[in-house]
């Protein structure tokens, strides 16, 4: 059976009693509530309705949080369909909040772990409805058996393809935007110029994820390095390799809310790309260091290490696909391409270097062009720096001196990759109800008011 | 876990019934109580926030005394606080007479026990107090003059209406429980019209939103009346039988053709005609006026004009039809019902001097002579924030010798006190409350002991009376003993006067007032002097000096004023509506409310902002000659151009204080506060 919320958009006035009911029922600190009320058209732009979505967890049929949680901290109740998190198992990696298009899992800053709507299982057991439903003063929020995935193609509701167990009573088809008795002599208000959509904060920010940038760059370059050792017989530096590897792993652990539980990240290898990334990159770092230390190392084992490394990079790139960010597989900062390029630079191998640089240049140019067309600032200065320093200069160095590796080329290439990766994180976004409402509002406005 | 059924005693339409759950002496949860048919789904978010409010670390739990000439207070004992107060009271009584002490009570908490306060001050020998009311007198008096009594049909009857006009009311925010029944009407095909200079949460399901220039609603109503008469859309039978003064009224509206009303209100004439058409063609019609539109200097007449539309069309006394303003049917304990109860007596009794108009609190207090005011006692109120013209109120309060404020929190008024006494919450003393929207009388039982050193007001008065040496018999007759039994005995005695009401009965849940009329005026009995509905009222003229029939006059402060200077210097109407997040100045200090209402802002149309170079979110100054406040501007495309809005009730200490700009002035009738006659300018800082 699947229980869920039934939400009547026409009857909700956005009062937020549901949110407060949730805070009280679950003894939450105001500010980190599990239910949120989002408003469509908060600036009351002419000709567009104002309405609200009161949303908590939608207790999906196949929940992305549960699938992707590396620690398998989520469970879905067979009787009610409630999706809950075991806060003692959560490692605080926040990956579920990237995977959930409904912004349901919330980080509790005081405990460092995720929390979420429990569908008030205790209340359900006692024959009561969830607190938010019970205390909705207009009866807009209901609860009962729902048909997941149906009745939810509403303006502003994330269209994620996930079977969410929520039903909407949609906006009345005859709900007219009220005819307003505004003087025709009064200007309509210079709508487009004066309108300002609230900026939607991305859940992924450079500030919170710097450690992941360090980790991903270190692993990609170390993979490239092993490739260079295998192909171009560059000197084996096991101590440097191990040192950098440990640094990367430590950095990546820093972003966990519960570092002591880091080992739990290995649990969900069946379904979570994050677990696979952790397993494969750890395996790569260990086998890489061992292989480098073996005096008469054979290149067959070297190729195995390289394969493990690139598999790890593949997993690392897959990790970000849960966010819903568009065209990620065409992103120039994908670590798998960085690994190849790094192999070319470190091994001073013309073929790999040029292939990597060309691929990166193409993808980078395509992406910048696309973003420019979508109205984003393409950041010309940074882009030029990234291309000239990170891609053109190493190639020129190689053409000039194909015989001797240029240290400057490595530094330049690494700096260019860092810029790209930083941009990658800055461009990542997670689908959320608030973001969807804003995008849909923008669309409604441009369609003409 | 213990459970109590209780009623919320705030100054609010809904006066919800809910169940409160107590665990280890703390309020753990609040659940709905379906026995109150008006509020079956539970309280609003403010009601839920009692969970925090009662146990808030910011609550004042002990008497506090101001440290000499500083802004600091220190905790003191009840003995010391009461000794100090008693000594001061006796001193002023002896030196200047008891009327040098002013007693001010606001609308912070409803309850039968509130009557104890003035009884105490009479025992003291007298006092000065206010007359009039900040909230609703013009509308009450307009209704009383016309229909004879302030009552309306049960809240759920609006579900039967086919046309609902919310005239200056934003039910979604100020009476959210009404939305249940408005939605029911709309879901079964009714039409909603909203008249409001703002596009509000309540107008989203409206077919028509009429946005008049503030204060001109009367002109629109008179023009609609003229159209109804001209087009023969009136109910002649009803008028012949039940209405006095139709001919006089019909002649008067000749003066307000729709084109003139359009000119006055800046509402295009086709919308005035459309409203008239809707009222003419739809049956039954319910018009629900809010309180905001009757706080202008012309608003008694405005309210009479709007009410006339229902009378002309016979929409009175029938299901789904009628006038919703205030339903005082549950006010069974009042010998004299509002608004008459708060008029100054024609013959002063020499004991309680009712000489300060609450609308002009500051200037009137400063003006008092023989004796001048020396001491102020404030309870259940926050006049620094809520009464008009804050700078004048501050001046008057600061000119006094001694101030006592009874409150739960450090409000703007408490900050002015010499002694602060901690106030109880609704869960800490048993009381009986009525309502002004639904017909229920409710018991509000004591559910927890007052925390810390909190004593209910009646106990404070009991102790003061003893200290003052008042005769024990007198005390016993007027002030309940400070125990739960004492309070219950006191209430029981009051209930004894009303057949069909007892504490025992109230303990089971809300009780509909005895002799209550489900459909108001369904007996077509109108307790006016003529026994008919009075479209023309002698009393309007003799008591208030306004026309016998409603006519339109421009509000004193208006952009169409004769005084050019006024309209050029301050071209924007400052509207100060209520918000769903507060009851006036209560609640926003709580974390749970701040979560959804983090701070004040002024809502402004982007076109008005652009003229002043104001960008969304920048801090601006809202000001006129009376005062000034600063806060961020927030764009609102739904605002009528030429109007800005700040919700009232933000404390000055929170960056709010809308009444710094309002003027201490009365409405045309009934001693209301006309603080919505309020022009300002807004500029970037």
Residues paired with residue A145 on neighbouring β-strands, in sequence order = A3
Of B48, B595, B607, the CB nearest to A31: B595
- Residue A180 in contact with partner chain B when CB distance is under 8 A: yes
Look at residue B408 in the predicted model and tell me its pLDDT. 98
B120 and B146 assigned to the same domain: no
Shortest Cα–Cα distance, A183 to chain B (Å): 6
If you average pLDDT over residues A270-276, what whole number do you get? 97
Task: Write out the two tokens for A36.
Answer: 């949120």
Torsion angle of the four alpha carbons B450, B451, B457, B461, in this order, in degrees rounded to the nearest 10: 100
Answer yes or no: is B551 within a domain: no
If you average pLDDT over residues A364-383, what whole number do you get? 89
Answer yes or no: is B570 within a domain: yes
Q: Which helix (H) or strand (E) holds A266?
A: none
B122 and B147 assigned to the same domain: no
The answer, yes or no, to whether residue A170 has pLDDT greater than 50, is yes
Structure confidence by residue, pLDDT tens digits, B318-357: 999 999 999 999 999 998 899 999 999 999 999 999 999 9
Structure confidence by residue, pLDDT tens digits, B281-308: 999 999 999 999 999 999 999 999 999 9
Look at residue A176 in the predicted model and tell me its pLDDT. 54
- Residues whose CB falls within 8 Å of the CB of residue B218, separated by 6 or more in sequence, listed in order: B298, B299, B301, B302, B305, B306, B550, B552
If you average pLDDT over residues A407-425, what whole number do you get? 95
Among residues 192-211 of chain B, which lie with CB inside 8 Å of chain A? Answer: 194, 199, 201-211
B148 and B202 assigned to the same domain: yes
d(CA A206, CA B623) in angstroms, rounded, equals 42
The answer, yes or no, to whether residue A177 has pLDDT greater than 70, is no
B373 and B494 assigned to the same domain: yes
Contact predicate B628/B661, CB 8 Å: yes
B583: domain CATH number? 2.40.40.20
Shortest Cα–Cα distance, B93 to chain A (Å): 49
The answer, yes or no, to whether residue A186 has pLDDT greater than 80, is no
Contact predicate B379/B423, CB 8 Å: yes
Search chain A and give the residue with CA nearest B183.
A11
Task: Write out the two tokens for B674.
Answer: 């006309």
Look at residue A197 in the predicted model and tell me its pLDDT. 41
Look at residue A355 in the predicted model and tell me its pLDDT. 96
Phi and psi, residue A272, nearest 5°: -100, 125
Half-sphere exposure of A92 (CA within 13 A, CB side): 20
With tokens 């009745």, the residue in question is: A151
B372 and B235 assigned to the same domain: no
d(CA B476, CA B462) in angstroms, rounded, equals 9
B29 and B76 assigned to the same domain: no
Task: Write out the two tokens for B90.
Answer: 């006796």
Of B42, B201, B210, the CB nearest to A13: B201
B237 and B381 assigned to the same domain: no
B40: domain CATH number? 2.20.25
Answer yes or no: is B556 within a domain: no
pLDDT band at A195 (very low <50, low <70, confident <90, very high): very low
d(CA B76, CA B462) in angstroms, rounded, equals 19
pLDDT band at A192 (very low <50, low <70, confident <90, very high): very low
- Intervals of chain B under pLDDT 70: 564-567
Chain-chain contact of B637 with A191 (C-beta, under 8 angstroms): yes
Answer yes or no: is B187 within a domain: yes
Of A24, A31, A46, the CB nearest to B637: A46
For Cα atoms B518, B520, B521, give the angle at the middle one, nearest 5 degrees.
130
Among residues 326-345 of chain A, which lie with CB inside 8 Å of chain B? Answer: none
> DSSP alpha helices (H): ranges in B231-268?
236-242, 246-253, 258-265
B570 and B629 assigned to the same domain: yes
* Helix (H/G/I), strand (E/B), else coil: B576: coil
pLDDT band at A267 (very low <50, low <70, confident <90, very high): very high
Distance, C-alpha B101 to centroid of its chain: 25
Phi/psi region, residue A375 (left: phi>0; alpha: psi -120 to 50; beta: rest), is: left
Look at residue B410 in the predicted model and tell me its pLDDT. 98
Phi/psi region, residue B168 (left: phi>0; alpha: psi -120 to 50; beta: rest), is: left
Q: Which residues of A touch B183 (CB under 8 A)?
A: 10-11, 138
B99 and B145 assigned to the same domain: no
Look at residue A178 in the predicted model and tell me its pLDDT. 64
Shortest Cα–Cα distance, A173 to chain B (Å): 11
Answer yes or no: is B558 within a domain: no
Contact predicate A418/A339, CB 8 Å: no
d(CA A360, CA A345) in angstroms, rounded, equals 13
The answer, yes or no, to whether residue A199 has pLDDT greater than 50, is no
DSSP B450-495: PPTT---HHHHHHHHHHHTT--HHHHHHHS--SSHHHHHHHHHHHH
B500-504: long-range contacts at Cβ-Cβ below 8 A with a sequence spacing of 24 or more?
B501/B332, B501/B441, B503/B432, B503/B443
The answer, yes or no, to whether residue A185 has pLDDT greater than 70, is no
CB pairs under 8 A between A and B: 156
- Residue B23 in contact with partner chain A when CB distance is under 8 A: no
With tokens 């015989």, the residue in question is: A403
How many domains would you assign to chain B?
4
Look at residue B79 in the predicted model and tell me its pLDDT. 98
Q: Which residues of B231-244 are buried (b: 16+ CB within 10 A; e: fewer)?
A: eebbbeebbeebbb
Phi/psi region, residue B156 (left: phi>0; alpha: psi -120 to 50; beta: rest), is: alpha
B374: domain CATH number? 3.40.50.740
Task: Write out the two tokens for B341.
Answer: 């109860």
Answer yes or no: is B334 within a domain: no
B200 and B264 assigned to the same domain: yes
B182 and B312 assigned to the same domain: yes
- Residue A122 in contact with partner chain B when CB distance is under 8 A: no
SS3 letters for A96-125? HHHHCCCCCCEEECCCCEEECCCCCHHHHH
SS3 letters for B605-646? CHHHHHHCCCCCCCEEEEEECCEEEEEEEEECCCECCCEEEC
Answer yes or no: is B559 within a domain: no
Contact predicate A422/A385, CB 8 Å: no
Look at residue A201 in the predicted model and tell me its pLDDT. 61
If you average pLDDT over residues A301-326, what whole number do you get? 95
DSSP A59-92: --SS-HHHHH-TT--EEE-TTT--EEE-TTT---
Task: Write out the two tokens for B97.
Answer: 């007479």
B118 and B146 assigned to the same domain: no
Q: What percent of chain A has pLDDT over 90?
A: 71
Chain-chain contact of A10 with B51 (C-beta, under 8 angstroms): no
Answer yes or no: is B347 within a domain: no
With tokens 């084992």, the residue in question is: A301
Q: Which residues of B80-91 are buried (b: 16+ CB within 10 A; e: fewer)?
A: ebbebbbebbbe
The answer, yes or no, to whether residue A181 has pLDDT greater than 90, is no
If you average pLDDT over residues A404-421, what whole number do you get? 94
For residue B270, give its domain range.
140-328+531-544
């Amino acid at each position: 059976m699947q229980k869920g919320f039934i939400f009547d958009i026409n009857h909700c006035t956005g009062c937020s009693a549901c949110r407060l009911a949730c805070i009280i029922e679950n003894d939450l600190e105001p500010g980190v509530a599990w239910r949120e009320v989002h408003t469509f058209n908060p600036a009351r732009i002419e000709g567009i309705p104002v309405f609200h979505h009161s949303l908590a967890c939608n207790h999906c049929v196949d929940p992305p949080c549960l699938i992707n949680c590396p620690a398998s901290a989520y469970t879905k109740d067979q009787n009610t369909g409630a999706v809950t998190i075991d806060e003692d198992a959560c490692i605080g990696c926040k990956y579920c909040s990237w995977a959930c298009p409904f912004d349901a899992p919330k980080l509790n800053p005081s405990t460092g772990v995720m929390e979420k709507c429990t569908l008030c299982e205790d209340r359900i057991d006692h024959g009561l409805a969830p607190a938010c439903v019970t205390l909705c003063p207009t009866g807009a929020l209901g609860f009962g058996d729902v048909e997941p995935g149906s009745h939810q193609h509403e303006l502003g509701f994330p269209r994620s393809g996930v079977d969410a167990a929520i039903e909407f009573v949609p906006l009345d088809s005859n709900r007219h935007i009220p005819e307003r008795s505004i003087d025709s002599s009064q200007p309509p208000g210079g709508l487009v110029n004066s309108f300002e959509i609230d900026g939607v904060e991305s859940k992924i920010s450079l500030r919170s994820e710097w450690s992941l940038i360090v980790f991903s760059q270190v692993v990609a370059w170390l993979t490239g390095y092993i490739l260079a050792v295998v192909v171009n017989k560059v000197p084996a530096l096991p101590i440097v390799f191990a040192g950098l590897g440990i640094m990367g792993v430590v950095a990546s652990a820093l972003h966990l809310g519960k570092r002591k539980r880091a080992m739990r990240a290995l649990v969900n290898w069946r379904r979570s790309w994050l677990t696979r990334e952790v397993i494969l990159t750890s395996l790569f770092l260990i086998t890489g260091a061992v292989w480098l230390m073996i005096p008469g190392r054979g290149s067959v084992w070297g190729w195995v290490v390289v394969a493990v490394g690139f598999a790890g990079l593949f997993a690392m790139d897959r990790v970000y696909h849960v966010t819903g960010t568009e065209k990620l597989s065409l992103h120039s900062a994908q670590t798998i391409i960085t690994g190849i390029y790094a192999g070319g630079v470190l091994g001073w191998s013309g073929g790999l270097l040029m292939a990597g640089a060309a691929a990166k240049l193409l993808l980078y140019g395509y992406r910048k062009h696309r973003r420019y067309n979508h109205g984003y600032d393409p950041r010309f200065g940074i882009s030029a720096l990234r291309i000239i320093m990170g891609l053109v200069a190493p190639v020129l160095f190689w053409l000039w001196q194909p015989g001797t590796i240029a240290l400057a080329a490595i530094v330049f290439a690494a700096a260019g990759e860092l810029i790209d990766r930083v941009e990658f994180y800055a461009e990542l976004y997670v689908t959320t109800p608030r973001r969807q409402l804003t995008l849909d509002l923008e669309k409604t406005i441009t369609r003409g008011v | 876990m213990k459970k109590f059924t209780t009623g919320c005693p705030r100054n609010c339409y809904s006066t919800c019934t809910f169940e409160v759950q107590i665990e280890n002496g703390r309020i753990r949860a609040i659940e709905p109580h379906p026995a109150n048919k008006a509020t079956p789904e539970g309280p609003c978010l403010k009601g839920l926030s009692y969970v925090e409010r009662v146990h808030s670390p910011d609550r004042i739990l002990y008497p506090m005394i101001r440290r000499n000439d500083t802004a600091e207070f220190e905790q003191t004992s009840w003995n010391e606080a009461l000794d100090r107060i008693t000594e001061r009271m006796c001193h002023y009584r002896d030196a200047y007479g008891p009327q040098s002490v002013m007693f001010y009570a606001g609308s912070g908490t409803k309850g039968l026990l509130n009557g104890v306060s003035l009884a105490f001050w009479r025992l003291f020998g007298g006092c000065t107090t206010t007359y009039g009311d900040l909230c609703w007198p013009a509308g009450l008096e307009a209704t009383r003059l016309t229909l004879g009594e302030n009552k309306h049909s049960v809240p759920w009857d609006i579900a039967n209406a086919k046309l609902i006009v919310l005239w200056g009311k934003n039910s979604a925010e100020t009476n959210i429980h009404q939305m249940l029944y408005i939605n029911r009407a709309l879901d079964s095909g009714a039409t909603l019209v909203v008249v409001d200079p703002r596009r509000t949460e309540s107008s989203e399901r409206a077919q028509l939103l009429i946005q008049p220039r503030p204060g001109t609603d009367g002109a629109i109503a008179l023009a609609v009346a003229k159209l109804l008469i001209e087009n023969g859309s009136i109910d002649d039978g009803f008028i012949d039988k039940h209405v006095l003064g139709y001919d006089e009224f019909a002649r008067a509206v000749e003066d307000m053709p729709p084109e003139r009303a359009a000119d006055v209100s800046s509402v295009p004439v086709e919308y005035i005609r459309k409203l008239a058409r809707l009222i003419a063609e739809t049956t039954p019609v319910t018009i629900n006026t809010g309180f905001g539109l009757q706080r202008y200097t012309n608003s008694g007449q405005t309210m009479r004009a709007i009410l006339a539309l229902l009378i002309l069309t016979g929409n009175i006394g029938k299901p789904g039809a009628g006038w919703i303003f205030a339903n005082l049917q549950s006010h069974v304990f009042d010998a004299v019902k509002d608004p008459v109860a708060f008029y100054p007596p024609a013959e002063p009794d020499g004991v309680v001097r009712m000489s300060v108009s609450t609308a002009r609190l500051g200037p009137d207090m400063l003006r008092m002579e023989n004796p001048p005011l020396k001491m102020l006692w404030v309870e259940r109120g926050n006049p620094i924030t809520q009464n008009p013209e804050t700078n004048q109120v501050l001046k008057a309060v600061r000119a006094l010798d001694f101030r006592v404020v009874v409150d739960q929190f450090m409000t703007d008024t408490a900050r002015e006190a010499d002694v602060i006494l901690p106030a109880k919450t609704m869960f800490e003393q048993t009381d009986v409350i009525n309502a002004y929207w639904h017909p229920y009388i409710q018991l509000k039982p004591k559910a927890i002991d007052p925390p810390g050193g909190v004593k209910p007001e009646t106990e404070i008065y009991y102790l003061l009376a003893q200290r003052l040496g008042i005769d024990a018999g007198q005390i016993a007759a007027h002030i309940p003993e400070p125990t739960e039994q004492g309070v219950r005995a006191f209430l029981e005695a009051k209930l004894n006067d009303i057949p069909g009401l007892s504490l025992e009965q109230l303990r089971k849940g809300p009780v509909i007032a005895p002799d209550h009329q489900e459909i108001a005026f369904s007996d077509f009995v109108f307790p006016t002097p003529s026994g008919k509905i009075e479209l023309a009222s002698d009393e309007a003229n003799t008591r208030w000096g306004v026309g016998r029939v409603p006519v339109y006059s421009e509000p004193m402060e208006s952009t169409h004023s004769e005084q050019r200077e006024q309209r050029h210097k301050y071209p924007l109407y400052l509207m100060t509506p209520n918000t769903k997040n507060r009851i006036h100045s209560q609640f926003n200090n709580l974390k749970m409310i701040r979560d959804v209402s983090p701070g004040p802002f002024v809502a402004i149309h982007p076109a008005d902002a652009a003229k002043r170079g104001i960008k969304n979110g920048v801090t601006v100054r809202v000001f006129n000659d009376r005062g000034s406040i600063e806060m961020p501007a927030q764009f609102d495309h739904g605002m009528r151009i030429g109007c800005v809005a700040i919700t009232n009730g933000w404390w000055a200490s929170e960056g709010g204080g809308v009444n710094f700009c309002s003027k201490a002035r009365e409405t045309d009738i009934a001693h209301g506060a006309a603080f919505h006659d309020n022009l300002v300018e807004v500029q970037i800082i």
